[in-house]
Amino acid sequence: MLDTAIESGSIREIEDTYIEDLNLLEDWFLQYEYLLELSRELPRIPAEERTDDLRVKGCQSAMWIKLSYEKGRVYITGDSEALIIRGILAVIISLLNGRTPEEILSYEPRFIKETNIAKEISTDRFDGLHSVVRDIQLYAGRQINGCEKPQGAGNPNSE
Protein backbone atom coordinates (compact mmCIF):
# COMPACT_ATOMS: atom_id res chain seq x y z
CA MET A 1 0.00 0.00 0.00
CA LEU A 2 2.69 2.51 1.01
CA ASP A 3 6.14 2.67 -0.46
CA THR A 4 8.21 5.46 1.01
CA ALA A 5 11.06 4.37 -1.21
CA ILE A 6 10.63 5.61 -4.74
CA GLU A 7 7.16 5.15 -6.12
CA SER A 8 6.91 4.59 -9.83
CA GLY A 9 4.68 6.94 -11.76
CA SER A 10 4.21 10.66 -11.64
CA ILE A 11 3.41 12.48 -8.42
CA ARG A 12 -0.02 13.29 -9.84
CA GLU A 13 -0.77 9.63 -10.71
CA ILE A 14 0.18 8.45 -7.24
CA GLU A 15 -1.74 11.26 -5.56
CA ASP A 16 -4.79 10.45 -7.72
CA THR A 17 -4.66 6.87 -6.39
CA TYR A 18 -4.64 8.05 -2.77
CA ILE A 19 -7.48 10.50 -3.48
CA GLU A 20 -9.56 7.79 -5.17
CA ASP A 21 -8.88 5.28 -2.39
CA LEU A 22 -9.94 7.73 0.31
CA ASN A 23 -12.99 9.00 -1.56
CA LEU A 24 -14.20 5.42 -2.07
CA LEU A 25 -14.33 5.18 1.71
CA GLU A 26 -17.28 7.49 2.28
CA ASP A 27 -17.32 7.13 6.05
CA TRP A 28 -14.77 9.25 7.98
CA PHE A 29 -14.09 6.35 10.36
CA LEU A 30 -12.98 4.17 7.41
CA GLN A 31 -10.85 7.00 6.03
CA TYR A 32 -9.30 7.43 9.48
CA GLU A 33 -8.51 3.71 9.61
CA TYR A 34 -6.90 3.93 6.17
CA LEU A 35 -4.66 6.77 7.35
CA LEU A 36 -3.82 4.88 10.56
CA GLU A 37 -2.72 1.92 8.45
CA LEU A 38 -0.46 4.21 6.44
CA SER A 39 0.94 5.65 9.68
CA ARG A 40 1.93 2.15 10.84
CA GLU A 41 3.84 1.58 7.59
CA LEU A 42 5.89 4.80 7.87
CA PRO A 43 9.34 4.09 9.34
CA ARG A 44 9.92 5.95 12.61
CA ILE A 45 12.66 8.49 13.21
CA PRO A 46 14.47 7.27 16.36
CA ALA A 47 13.74 9.42 19.42
CA GLU A 48 17.37 10.51 19.75
CA GLU A 49 17.24 11.92 16.18
CA ARG A 50 14.02 13.92 16.74
CA THR A 51 15.85 17.16 17.39
CA ASP A 52 14.56 20.72 17.28
CA ASP A 53 16.29 21.36 13.94
CA LEU A 54 14.17 18.59 12.38
CA ARG A 55 10.94 19.70 14.04
CA VAL A 56 8.37 21.32 11.76
CA LYS A 57 7.37 24.70 13.12
CA GLY A 58 3.72 25.70 13.28
CA CYS A 59 2.28 22.23 13.86
CA GLN A 60 -0.22 21.42 16.58
CA SER A 61 1.39 18.00 17.07
CA ALA A 62 5.11 17.39 17.17
CA MET A 63 6.30 16.51 13.67
CA TRP A 64 9.81 16.04 12.29
CA ILE A 65 11.18 15.81 8.77
CA LYS A 66 14.69 14.82 7.78
CA LEU A 67 15.82 15.85 4.31
CA SER A 68 18.86 14.86 2.31
CA TYR A 69 20.05 15.34 -1.25
CA GLU A 70 21.98 12.75 -3.20
CA LYS A 71 22.63 12.26 -6.90
CA GLY A 72 20.11 14.89 -7.94
CA ARG A 73 17.26 13.63 -5.77
CA VAL A 74 15.70 14.70 -2.48
CA TYR A 75 15.15 12.02 0.17
CA ILE A 76 12.66 12.45 2.99
CA THR A 77 11.95 10.71 6.26
CA GLY A 78 9.35 11.96 8.68
CA ASP A 79 7.57 11.25 11.92
CA SER A 80 4.82 12.66 14.13
CA GLU A 81 3.44 11.93 17.57
CA ALA A 82 -0.12 12.08 16.20
CA LEU A 83 -1.08 8.94 14.26
CA ILE A 84 -3.45 10.72 11.88
CA ILE A 85 -0.73 13.22 11.00
CA ARG A 86 1.77 10.35 10.56
CA GLY A 87 -0.66 8.82 8.06
CA ILE A 88 -0.97 12.03 6.06
CA LEU A 89 2.79 12.57 6.33
CA ALA A 90 3.26 9.06 4.92
CA VAL A 91 1.28 10.10 1.84
CA ILE A 92 3.34 13.28 1.40
CA ILE A 93 6.58 11.32 1.73
CA SER A 94 5.46 8.63 -0.71
CA LEU A 95 4.65 11.37 -3.25
CA LEU A 96 7.86 13.38 -2.94
CA ASN A 97 10.60 11.03 -1.69
CA GLY A 98 13.33 10.35 -4.23
CA ARG A 99 12.09 13.02 -6.65
CA THR A 100 14.16 15.66 -8.35
CA PRO A 101 14.03 19.19 -6.94
CA GLU A 102 12.18 20.30 -10.09
CA GLU A 103 9.47 17.67 -9.58
CA ILE A 104 9.06 18.70 -5.95
CA LEU A 105 8.86 22.39 -6.81
CA SER A 106 6.14 21.75 -9.39
CA TYR A 107 3.99 19.83 -6.87
CA GLU A 108 0.69 21.48 -5.94
CA PRO A 109 -0.86 19.59 -3.00
CA ARG A 110 -4.34 18.25 -3.77
CA PHE A 111 -4.58 15.25 -1.45
CA ILE A 112 -6.06 17.04 1.56
CA LYS A 113 -8.29 19.42 -0.43
CA GLU A 114 -9.83 16.73 -2.65
CA THR A 115 -10.76 14.39 0.20
CA ASN A 116 -12.71 14.87 3.43
CA ILE A 117 -9.50 15.22 5.44
CA ALA A 118 -9.60 19.03 5.49
CA LYS A 119 -13.05 18.90 7.12
CA GLU A 120 -11.92 16.45 9.78
CA ILE A 121 -8.62 17.88 11.01
CA SER A 122 -8.06 21.15 12.83
CA THR A 123 -6.92 24.27 11.01
CA ASP A 124 -3.61 24.12 12.91
CA ARG A 125 -2.97 20.58 11.70
CA PHE A 126 -3.99 21.52 8.17
CA ASP A 127 -1.56 24.45 8.24
CA GLY A 128 1.18 22.27 9.72
CA LEU A 129 0.87 19.79 6.86
CA HIS A 130 1.15 22.60 4.34
CA SER A 131 4.25 23.76 6.22
CA VAL A 132 5.81 20.35 5.63
CA VAL A 133 5.27 20.59 1.87
CA ARG A 134 6.55 24.18 1.86
CA ASP A 135 9.66 23.17 3.84
CA ILE A 136 10.39 20.30 1.45
CA GLN A 137 9.94 22.63 -1.52
CA LEU A 138 12.23 25.26 0.03
CA TYR A 139 14.88 22.59 0.56
CA ALA A 140 14.47 21.39 -3.03
CA GLY A 141 14.82 24.96 -4.30
CA ARG A 142 18.07 25.38 -2.39
CA GLN A 143 19.45 22.28 -4.12
CA ILE A 144 18.76 23.81 -7.54
CA ASN A 145 20.46 27.01 -6.44
CA GLY A 146 23.50 25.15 -5.11
CA CYS A 147 22.85 26.05 -1.48
CA GLU A 148 22.97 22.45 -0.32
CA LYS A 149 22.95 21.76 3.40
CA PRO A 150 24.89 18.73 4.68
CA GLN A 151 23.18 15.39 4.07
CA GLY A 152 20.66 14.63 6.77
CA ALA A 153 20.10 18.30 7.53
CA GLY A 154 16.51 18.81 8.36
CA ASN A 155 13.93 21.45 8.73
CA PRO A 156 14.38 24.45 6.45
CA ASN A 157 12.79 26.57 9.19
CA SER A 158 15.82 26.03 11.41
CA GLU A 159 18.12 28.29 9.40
The domains located in the chain, with CATH, are: 11-158 (3.90.1010.10)
**CA of 143: how far to CAs of 64, 69, 71, 130, 153, in Å?**
20, 8, 11, 20, 12
Is residue 59 part of the annotated active site? The answer reads yes
Residue among 47, 35, 157, 123 nearest 85 (CA): 35
Per-residue pLDDT of the chain (159 residues; tens, 9 = 90+): 444 444 578 999 999 999 999 999 988 899 999 999 999 999 999 999 999 999 988 777 889 999 999 999 999 999 999 999 999 999 999 999 999 999 999 999 998 888 888 788 777 777 778 889 999 999 999 998 887 554 444 444 444
Identify the active-site residue in 11, 45, 56, 59.
59
pTM of the model: 0.84
